[in-house]
Amino acid sequence: MYPILYRKKTRTGFLLGLLVLALCIRLICEPGLQTALWTKVKAVLGSETIFRGVVFLETGLLPERSAKRTIQRGEDTANLSQPRQAIPMTTEPDATETEVETEEAAAAAASAGLSPFTAEEAEAISFRGDCTYTVDKAALLLQPLRWPSLPGPRVLIIHSHTCESYTQSEGHTYLPSANYRTLDLANNMVAVGDALAEALGKLGVEVIHDRTLNDYPDYNRSYAVAREKIQAYLTQYPSLVMVLDLHRDALEKPVRETVELNAATVAPLMLVIGTDEGGLSHPRWQENLSCGLKLQALANRETPELFKRLSFRRQRFNGDMTPGSVIVEVGSTENTLPEAIAAMPYLARYVEELLRCE
């Protein structure tokens, strides 16, 4: 029979028959090759139904149907074997932009390991100050921050009124330059900023601390001088999203206010948010207020007594420089420097959490 099959006329068919026979043997013996070949043939034929029929007729084997998998344009196919996290969807088919942003904020908070903010938390924060604007605290608290994420320092600590100081106490005496003011960096707001920078660093937050005397010798130009410094830092470090301007408050009626936290006496904190109501351009005041509300809401979850009422003001206070510009009043003239410094680990913790809320 061999000579007959190997005639010149049938030589090509004979060789193809041997090739098919060898391929069938390999397919039976090597399941991995079988799967790969089936995938290849299916791609060539372009139809799984035709492919399954041809394979069955040729080999007597019926391959299993492939699981359906739709890949959206732009989807990363390199990680299809990895479980995909569920994407939260709105229950309303025509959700408003505010509702979508609220869900984004909740998803971001959840991914950061934080509970989403609530309208009740917004209502728990009361205002003081001279600004007459009416704001929706809940909407501002719930809206995403949308901060850019660039490598480098994220927080700038600065002191528009650097020379502000506290009641002198044992181990913390200084030479006053004016009433409750001193050029001594170890006893004015620079010392408080140093404590905050150290606490943030321990939490892994990269910080820039401006330690210059921005209010000396000309107190009236302090915000203008600080503005120039902030702009220079933003140019050098475009990764900065928060500017914390640390001050010491001066109460109209001097009263020593303190908070007891973990058996320590701590100076209370107050956030100050400026607006454009005073006439200066400030397109970011709502972003600043959203940031301030979030910071205070985070603090209220653990230490509701630490922050006083949020001060909502007509003045700009250089808040237009970054989306997270906030003034923090650390205690008052009646507090001591150790009490002010004792509040910094708490402030650092809430700032670090806020940075993870984006």
pLDDT of residue 185: 98
Residue type, 244: L
Residue 28 pLDDT exceeds 80:
no
Residue 91: predicted pLDDT: 30
Q: What is the mean pLDDT of residues 315-327?
A: 97
The pTM (predicted TM-score) of the whole model is 0.70
CA distance 39 to 28: 16
d(CA 196, CA 264): 17
**Neighbouring-strand partners of residue 311:** 128, 272
What is the pLDDT at residue 292?
98
Q: Which of 66-70, 75-79, 314-318 shows the highest mean pLDDT?
A: 314-318
State pLDDT tens for residues 124-144.
Answer: 999 999 999 999 999 999 999
* Rounded to 5°, angle at Cα 148 from 75 and 160: 175
C-alpha to C-alpha distance for 186 and 83, rounded to whole angstroms: 54
Q: Residue 128: beta bridge partners?
A: 311
User: Which of 39-53, 67-81, 190-204, 213-227 has the weakest average pLDDT?
Assistant: 67-81
The predicted structure's pLDDT at residue 104: 57
Residues 101-355, CATH architecture: 3-Layer(aba) Sandwich (3.40)
Average pLDDT over residues 70-94: 31
Q: For residues 52 and 348, what is the distance between their CA atoms, to the nearest angstrom?
A: 64
Q: Which two tokens stand for residue 355?
A: 């940075």
- Is there a contact between 297 and 353 (Cβ–Cβ < 8 Å)? no
- The pLDDT, as a whole number, for residue 82 is 33
Ranges of CATH 3.40.630.40 domains, the chain: 101-355
* Cα 245 from chain centre: 20
**pLDDT tens sequence across 98-126:** 455 555 555 555 545 678 999 999 999 99
Ranking 45-54, 276-285, 317-326 by mean pLDDT, the lowest is: 45-54
Check residue 238 and give its pLDDT.
Answer: 96
Tokens, residue 124: 């728990």
Please report the pLDDT score of residue 272 as a whole number: 98
Q: What is the pLDDT of residue 17?
A: 72
Q: Is the peptide bond before 268 cis (omega within 30 degrees of 0)?
A: no
pLDDT interval class at 183 (50, 70, 90): very high
Phi/psi region, residue 165 (left: phi>0; alpha: psi -120 to 50; beta: rest), is: beta
Residue 5 confidence (pLDDT) above 70: no
State the pLDDT confidence band at 253, using cuts at 50, 70 and 90.
Answer: confident
**What is the mean pLDDT of the segment spanning 1-20?**
59
| Per-residue confidence (pLDDT) for residue 78, from 0 to 100 | 33
Higher-pLDDT residue of 18 and 314 is: 314
Q: Greater confidence, 274 or 19?
A: 274
Mean pLDDT, the chain, as a whole number? 81
User: pLDDT at residue 37 above 60?
Assistant: no
In the predicted structure, residue 86 carries a pLDDT above the cut 50: no
Flag the least confident range among 89-93, 129-133, 145-149.
89-93
* Mean pLDDT within 158-169: 98
Confidence category of residue 179, pLDDT binned at 50, 70, 90 = very high
